[in-house]
Structure 1
């Protein structure tokens, strides 16, 4: 699985896609950081944990408007 960064929604919140093969799943990570750069660094540092959380939420159908919503660990 691969994380591909996309546009920020608001300060400290970033949207990214989990890629598995040709499929992509949009995910949103809400953080308490004030900049997108800080949030993205945090995402990269905890990448494995967020991938597992996103996969589990996707498998259980925990989506909000078709998006996997995550928050800080």
Structure 2
């Protein structure tokens, strides 16, 4: 997992297992710390993975990355 900061929060990147492949996903958050953002991701991991798989299946990628936002 990697975190970068922006004006409105930051992003967390994670890998989604897709068969034998891995897909890079980016989750935009409004949390100010990596610990808060990671806790949020873990709490909602199943839902984010479901959303990421749907976007991957429909081809909704930005520069080859599945981009998600907070619920």
Instruction: Give TM-score, length-normalised by structure 2.
Output: 0.87
Residue deviations 1:42-71 (CA, integer Å, cap 9, x gap): 000001110110000000000000000000
Q: Flag structure 2 segments of 5+ consecutive residues without an equivalent.
A: none
CA RMSD after TM alignment: 1.2
Name the structure 2 match of 1:68: 66
Name the structure 2 match of 1:8: 3
Name the structure 1 match of 2:50: 52
Q: Following superposition, which runs of at least 4 residues in structure 1 exceed 4 angstroms of deviation? A: none
* Closer/same/farther in 2, CA of residues 12 and 35 from structure 1, 3 Å limit: farther
Give aligned pairs, total: 68
Distance 1:67 1:21 in 2: 17
Instruction: Give TM-score, length-normalised by structure 1.
Output: 0.85
Distance 1:29 1:47 in 2: 11
